[in-house]
Homo-oligomer: A and B are copies of this chain.
Amino acid sequence: MYRSHNCGELRMAHIGQKVTLSGWVQKARDLGGLTFLDLRDRYGITQAVFNMDENAELCLEARKLGREFVVQVDGIVRERSSKNASRPTGDIEIEVSALKVLNQAKTPPFTIEDDTDGGDDLRMKYRYLDLRRTPLQNNILFRSKLALETRKYLNESQFVEIETPFLIKSTPEGARDFVVPSRLNPGEFYALPQSPQTFKQILMVAGLDRYFQIVKCFRDEDLRADRQPEFTQIDCEMAFVHIEDILNTFEGLAKHLFQTMIGKDLGDFPRMTYDEALSKYGSDKPDLRFDMSFVELNDVAKGKGFGVFDSAELVVGICAKGIAESYSNKDLKDLTEWVQRPQIGAKGLVYVKYQKDGIKSTVGKFYSDDELNDWGKLFGAEEGDILFILSGDAEKTRKQLSELRLELGRKLGLMKAGDFKPLWVINFPLLEWDEEAGRFHAMHHPFTSPKIEDIPRMLNGDHETMKSLRADAYDLVINGSEIGGGSIRIHDRELQSKNFDLLGFSKEEAEAQFGFLLGAFEFGAPPHGGIAFGFDRLCAVMNGQSSIRDFIAFPKNNMGRDMMIDAPSDIHDVQMKELNLKSTYTKGN
């Protein structure tokens, strides 16, 4: 037996008991005739004591132990003379009678402490050491508990967890597939699923009624920061539902998870249309922890001789409360430079400061104080506030102002840790016109249903009409992060074919890729819809963290590499031959 207890469970009640503990040497200290060892495992840290007077041999052995050695100690639990209130085991210690080194350890390349000195690459390579740190262990434990709570809740709501296949069919629509050559079917490939979308719809046609799965999905994209080629979804689908049923069901799930996991009552989730979100916040995933909503100034700002505004499609601003006196010219200059960076791309930044000693503005010579006061009224601005105004092409300007709003939110401390503001964004457009490709893309995916009242316009409308079609699609946004998204699906073969037409599929392409689904729609497909949550992101957002990487046990870097196992890698020629494949890549190219 390696242990009678773990390193986190001994208390005053155990005093006098003979126990055996195993764990890692977190720290060793020699104080005169005593040696103290902090023994660590997943459950906590317990102090072990060796006494030079009582057992010199044992104590000398203990003094040879290095950090991260794995040891087993036998001993008696006794009360500590100087207690450590910051540790649950801090009232006791083990008076060691026997010590066994279970394994040695080289000196770790970085410290195994809450704050580590390891760089990203080093931490990824020695992930097994990084994962020994308490913050990462807590993340992994949180994730495990969140998955279990999700499963319990959905199970109690009569959802069935059903595993869908990983070796499926490549479909060029959407992101790029990872593919898997088939040896038994030479020349052919499987694809790894970008999501179980068509399978969950098939399960509805099969009458399974309520499906969910916590499942890995795969996208071969050029990796931006905080994207992973494999990621995890809570994937859900329901039959015989309208949009209300879905929003209520999954609002229930989200509320339950926040309440159970972190004790937060989210209240009822507000809803906002896509159009409203864009015009009020310039984003389809606004962070509602603070308001600072957009006010459009075209009516009051144009035609007064200020050429920049006059020639702009849109003049729009936000109001920052109470910073007029404290925000220096230097601050304003920095902010202007910030919006002018290529990542944001604004030409300039107009401000109007409402100060005790009057109004100050970059556009003071074009507008009277009365006019600027009227602007302020549109924002509800008071003395002490500053308006920030951008102008130009409507779509671009809204995006820029959205970025500025978030930057101000960060700078002014308006995104408070522990504050969670959920929002349903609804009524997304059905189609997106891709000017470059000269074709429509599905805004959500090709299986999304138009809103029922838009179906006649979809079946008979002209090209311009198609741009205005609304979908029964929705996103769940929390604190500006898209946590989940879904839609009511098409369940009618004709309507699905029409949608494929609009998306530029030929009949043959539609049949080759999605014939099974079109076929299934002919054998009694019920109305259905669903949603998928980004599980990695949900973990991060619930913990107030911005990076998903520390919630994934073995993440990949920005080149899709696993730095620890060093994958991907070469494979043997015999494997290539068995797969009937040849590489056209020459190293050094």
Give residues in A with beta carbon < 8 Å to B: 1-3, 6, 22, 24, 40-43, 68-70, 102-106, 108, 126-129, 131-132, 137, 140-141, 143-145, 147-148, 151-152, 155, 160-170, 172, 176-192, 198-199, 202-203, 205-209, 216, 218, 220, 222-223, 229-230, 232, 240-242, 245, 491-492, 512, 515-516, 520-527, 552-554, 556, 559-562, 564-572, 575, 577-585, 587, 589
Q: How far is the CA of A70 from the CA of B126 in the complex (A)?
A: 56
The answer on a CB contact under 8 Å between B206 and A132 is: yes
The answer on a CB contact under 8 Å between B169 and A140 is: no
Known: A22-B526, A167-B229, A218-B166. A128 touches B205 (CB 8 A): yes
Which residue on B lies nearest to A564, using beta carbons?
Answer: B516
Min CB gap A185→B, angstroms: 5
Q: How far is the CA of A450 from the CA of B570 in the complex (A)?
A: 32
The answer on a CB contact under 8 Å between B128 and A523 is: yes
Which of chain B's residues have a CB closer than 8 A to the CB of A205?
128
Which residue on B lies nearest to A184, using beta carbons?
Answer: B560
A interface: dominant SS? loop
Q: How far is the CA of A16 from the CA of B438 in the complex (A)?
A: 59
Min CB gap A230→B, angstroms: 5
Which residue of the partner chain, among B69, B140, B242, B562, contacts A168 with CB atoms under 8 Å?
Answer: B562
The answer on a CB contact under 8 Å between A569 and B524 is: no
Which residue of the partner chain, among B3, B168, B222, B554, contacts A567 with CB atoms under 8 Å?
Answer: B168
Q: What are 8 of the A-B contact pairs (CB < 8 Å)?
A: A103-B525, A131-B203, A143-B163, A145-B155, A180-B568, A188-B569, A188-B570, A582-B584
Min CB gap A116→B, angstroms: 14
Q: How far is the CA of A251 from the CA of B566 in the complex (A)?
A: 37
Which residue on B lies nearest to A589, using beta carbons?
Answer: B186
Which of chain B's residues have a CB closer than 8 A to the CB of A161?
144, 147-148
Which residue of the partner chain, among B2, B202, B575, contacts A527 with CB atoms under 8 Å?
Answer: B2
The answer on a CB contact under 8 Å between B575 and A492 is: no
Which of chain B's residues have a CB closer than 8 A to the CB of A152?
148, 152
The answer on a CB contact under 8 Å between B559 and A184 is: yes
Q: How far is the CA of A571 from the CA of B178 in the complex (A)?
A: 11
Known: A141-B160, A554-B164, A582-B582. A131 touches B208 (CB 8 A): yes
Q: How far is the CA of A129 from the CA of B206 in the complex (A)?
A: 6
Min CB gap A589→B, angstroms: 8
Which residue on B lies nearest to A25, using beta carbons?
Answer: B524
Which of chain B's residues have a CB closer than 8 A to the CB of A209?
6, 41-43
Known: A523-B68, A524-B70. A569 touches B170 (CB 8 A): yes
Min CB gap A412→B, angstroms: 37
